[in-house]
A and B are shown apart, each in its own frame.
Chain A
Amino acid sequence: MSNYAYLIALVPLLSFVMIVFFLRWKEKLAAGWSIASILASWTMSLIVLIETLGRHGEPLEYFFYLTTFKGINFEIGILIDGLTAVMLMVVTTVASCVHIYSLGYMKDDPRFSRFFSYLSLFCFSMLGLVLANNFFMIFIFWELVGLTSYLLIGFWFEKKSAADAGKKAFITTRIGDLGFIVGLMMVGAYAGTFNYGGVFEKVASGQIPTAVLTVMAAFIFCGAIGKSAQFPLHVWLPDAMEGPTPVSALIHAATMVAAGVYLVARSMNLYVGAPEAAMIVAVIGLVTSFIAASIGLVQNDIKRILAYSTVSQLGYMIMALGLYGYDVGMDPHAHSAGFYAGTFHLMTHAFFKGLLFLGAGSVIHAVHTNDIQDMGGLLGKMKITSVTFILASLSIAGIFPLAGFWSKDEIVAATHGHPIFNIFTLIIAFMTAFYMFRLCFLTFFGKPRDQHRYEHAHESPRSMSWPLAFLGFLAVSAGWVGIPTLHGFSSFVFFGEPYHTSFHWDVMIISTIVAVAGIVLAYLIYYKKSISADMLAEKFRPIHTFLYNKWYFDELYSFVIINPILALGRFLWTFDARIVDGLVNGAAWLTIVWADIKWWFDKWIVDGAVNGAGWIVSQGSGLLRLIQNGAVQFYALFVLGGLLVLIAFKYEDVYVSLEWPWLSAIIIVALGLLSLVAKRTASREAAAETETEK
């Protein structure tokens, strides 16, 4: 099966084409086709996963050369190793759930088929990105997922905020992609190939100077910064929540935003070769994680809280990967959990965050608002949604024995030896537990704050609740493949040497205490109300405002980047209006004055010359106009003439050769024949024309 793995990506593409061309108006069929194809992809991914497990993650590569340009081979191909197989599984699983969920969620949308066609296109791009075996191909799919993300964020483009959010996401990620392109060019220039294996070989054999490698790795990371919404380009992801919720779950939580993490994991060789770049990666991951978690503490929009949580968790993964690159780069025998932790968390996060978003969608579907201050007490009304949502929250907070517990512990373990990272990671874990349970308590417990909305709330249809249940199962159990000392996940997805997992009792206990503390605090504030939330907000007013306004990043960017550009535009406009126009007007005015003073002089003396000149120009242009007569044949004649002139310049000796008598004879005969024909035609013409005149 593995050698047919490209089908995993192509089946959704076929579905996209079918829907766009044939099933546009048959909504049921379009959705069915789309779901069937993603389920087919899922089945194939499962087979590939099993086969890869059988090979113990041994890489498998199939490719063919597309073309060669300046000595660089451009390939199309697939690479399957443990990382690819796991990513395939994650993407197709979440995508299948989202597809089925969308059946219910998008039921009454006028662009139902289009939505499914976009989903299929996204699946194709994302699976292609995962399967790619070289940097060139990953870049193409990278841009394709960006495009589908743009299309889906702006899916309800009648809403100005949605259209704007789409543009913001597209342009912001484009800034990162610019860096990615530069990185790719450096790869092409210094490694002479785009193939992962080829590039890594060059890096390993030390053929690329470390300085170049550092810059290259940092530029490639720029792509990840944009796509995975890392600081300072994280601003697009919360706005991207304007898209339909299934899209948020699939693209902006589980899969596409994880592509940056995947890219870093995939090019880990580069970071191992350039520890400084790896350190940059780690620091940016930590900073992002902290900023996003702190913003998440005070937001009120259910989807935005989840979005900041996503950014924060992505920062976690990237930090873990960066630390791994740094540790191993500094000491090749270092035993770091980073790579394992990052990829493992990528997997578990995809499941529980996809679940959280789908659950949020279910809630929004029921109460028609995004504001958690208007919800409350939904536990009794929406059993499945509430239970799965709370399970996922426990999982992300890191409570034993749910999926998040195992992966988060590994991330904490990966910070071993970096005290600052260690402390901040725990703080972030605390904040995560707190804001997730603030969300839960406000949404599902307590008294309903908006009686009207509460009464209309109801459990979502089965097409929506079943995917929730399935993802809920995964959010609980997906972590068990990584239980230490069982060597499940760690012996399958690894870099270099498989990581030997072991129980870090200290880490487990501390992180559990931290998580429980976060939950208890949220419980006290938002359920028991023994601590007043308003009082706290009042007490820490400046911090609260600062966080509530998302660290003023949007304002900062509009002040530092957008306003100067607008100001420059306005300045140029003013310059044009005042100074340039002024100059022109002044010149005109001067001319008038000049003319007024000298009019008699002009009239009698200059006029003659001017009119004369005008007459000459007019006559001349009349002649030139004849050349530009729009008749292509006339132009062709000039082309031929031009060719002759060129030949005459280049080979002036050619004309000398014409003295050979037999050559002349041929030419004379040809000339004679042609002129005879022409003459005959001309005379006939004249006759014909007189005839038609009659």
Chain B
Amino acid sequence: MDASVGPVFWILAAVTILSGIAVVSLKNIFHCALFLILCLFSVAGIYILLHAEFLAAAQVLIYVGAVAILMIFAIMLTSGLASRTIKQVNKHALTALFACVLFVFVVIGLIFKSNVWNWARVPLPEDNVMTIGKLLMTKYMLPFEVVSVLLLAALIGAITLAREEEA
């Protein structure tokens, strides 16, 4: 048992899982989005527990600040959905539930049984953020550039798709 699994972890894990369940099961899509934000926040907390401060900040900024807000915007734009009370799950619900629970079962069993990890690890550098910045500009230059091109493409694609047809 390592040190980072303390009460904070259990609380965060519980919040993550419960809000996650809420995201997939609540009827009101607007509430789902709010729970998604909660869930993403607690994942950010878990990142901090794992000494990934930069990632936690990015998580809050990008996911909570941008993606989730985008979702809420989309919900608002597709008017009337926020309050609609129609069936939110489809006919596969029970089968999927069964399969997913089985999946959790199996994967947890797998993780429990495996002891093949290479435990000799490199300690994380103290100045995480600085190292990440350096790595992005040196070793991971190419993926970094590719990802920025992807973002640009997504931006243009989204604008093209969502633009109102001109009369």
Contacts and interface: CB of A to CB of B under 8 A. Distances in A.
Interface stretch (A347-355, A439-447, A519-527, A684-692): A684-692
Nearest to B113: A657
25 contacts: A633-B92, A637-B95, A637-B96, A644-B103, A647-B106, A654-B113, A655-B106, A657-B109, A658-B109, A660-B112, A663-B109, A667-B101, A671-B101, A674-B100, A674-B101, A677-B25, A678-B89, A681-B89, A684-B27, A685-B87, A685-B89, A688-B86, A689-B87, A691-B85, A692-B86
A681 B27 CA distance: 7
Interface of A: 67, 631, 633-634, 637, 640-641, 643-644, 647-648, 651, 653-655, 657-658, 660, 663, 666-667, 670-671, 673-675, 677-678, 681-682, 684-685, 688-689, 691-692
Given A654-B113, A667-B104, A681-B25, A634 B97 contact: no
B99 interface: yes
B92 A647 contact: no
B109 A655 contact: yes
A678 B106 contact: no
A666 B105 CA distance: 9
A236 B108 CA distance: 68
A678 B109 contact: no
Contacts of B95: 637
B99 A640 contact: yes
A647 B107 CA distance: 9
Interface string B58-99: 000000000000000000000000000111111011111101
Contact of B108 (A631, A648, A666, A671): A666
Contacts of B85: 684, 688, 691
B89 to A, nearest CB: 6
A670 to B, nearest CB: 6
B112 A657 contact: yes
A491 B85 CA distance: 88
A678 B93 contact: yes
B64 to A, nearest CB: 24
Given A671-B101, A678-B97, A663 B21 contact: no
B124 interface: no
Contacts of A677: 21, 25
B146 interface: no
Given A640-B103, A674-B101, A678-B97, A654 B109 contact: yes
A675 B97 contact: yes
B162 interface: no
B102 A644 contact: yes
B144 to A, nearest CB: 15
A460 to B, nearest CB: 46
B110 interface: yes
Given A653-B113, A657-B109, A666-B108, 6 more contacts: A654-B110, A663-B108, A674-B21, A674-B100, A678-B89, A681-B89
Contact of A678 (B90, B94, B104, B112): B94
B contact face: mostly helix, strand, loop, or mixed: helix
A contact face: mostly helix, strand, loop, or mixed: helix
B25 to A, nearest CB: 4
A475 B88 CA distance: 81
B90 A633 contact: yes
Nearest to A663: B108
B110 to A, nearest CB: 5
A519 B106 CA distance: 93
A653 to B, nearest CB: 7
B83 to A, nearest CB: 12
Contacts of A658: 105, 109
Given A640-B100, A653-B113, A654-B113, A682 B93 contact: yes
B25 A678 contact: yes
Contacts of A671: 101
Nearest to A684: B27
A75 to B, nearest CB: 15
Nearest to B86: A688
A631 B21 CA distance: 23
Given A651-B113, A688-B86, A688-B87, A670 B104 contact: yes
Interface in B88-146: 88-90, 92-97, 99-110, 112-113, 142
A647 B109 CA distance: 11
A383 to B, nearest CB: 56
Contacts of A692: 86
A663 B101 contact: no
Contacts of B87: 685, 688-689
Contact of A644 (B21, B99, B112): B99
A634 B92 contact: yes
A663 B92 contact: no
Contacts of A663: 108-109, 112
Contacts of A654: 106, 109-110, 113
Contact of A641 (B21, B93, B99): B99
A210 to B, nearest CB: 39
Given A644-B99, A660-B112, A678-B94, A667 B89 contact: no
Nearest to B110: A654
Contact of B105 (A643, A667, A674, A675): A667
Contacts of B100: 640, 674
9 interchain residue pairs of minimum CB distance: A677-B25, A654-B109, A685-B87, A657-B109, A688-B85, A657-B113, A640-B99, A671-B101, A654-B110
Contacts of B92: 633-634, 637
Contact of A681 (B17, B88, B103, B107): B88
Given A663-B109, A677-B21, A670 B102 contact: no
Contact of B21 (A657, A673, A682): A673
A523 to B, nearest CB: 65
A651 B108 contact: no
Nearest to A675: B97
A640 B99 CA distance: 7
Contacts of A670: 17, 101, 104
A651 B99 contact: no
Contacts of B106: 644, 647-648, 654-655
Nearest to B105: A667
A211 B123 CA distance: 54
Contacts of A640: 96, 99-100, 103
Contacts of A685: 87-89
Nearest to A671: B101
Contacts of A674: 21, 25, 97, 100-101
B105 to A, nearest CB: 6
A689 B89 CA distance: 13
Contacts of A675: 97
Contacts of B88: 681, 685
Contacts of B142: 67
Contacts of A689: 87
A658 to B, nearest CB: 5
B39 to A, nearest CB: 15
A651 B110 contact: yes
A71 B97 CA distance: 48
Nearest to A634: B92
A660 to B, nearest CB: 7
B28 to A, nearest CB: 11
A654 B111 CA distance: 9
Query: Which residue of B97, B100, B109, B110 has the most chain A CB atoms within 10 A of its CB atom?
Result: B109
Nearest to B112: A657
A643 B104 CA distance: 12
Nearest to A640: B99
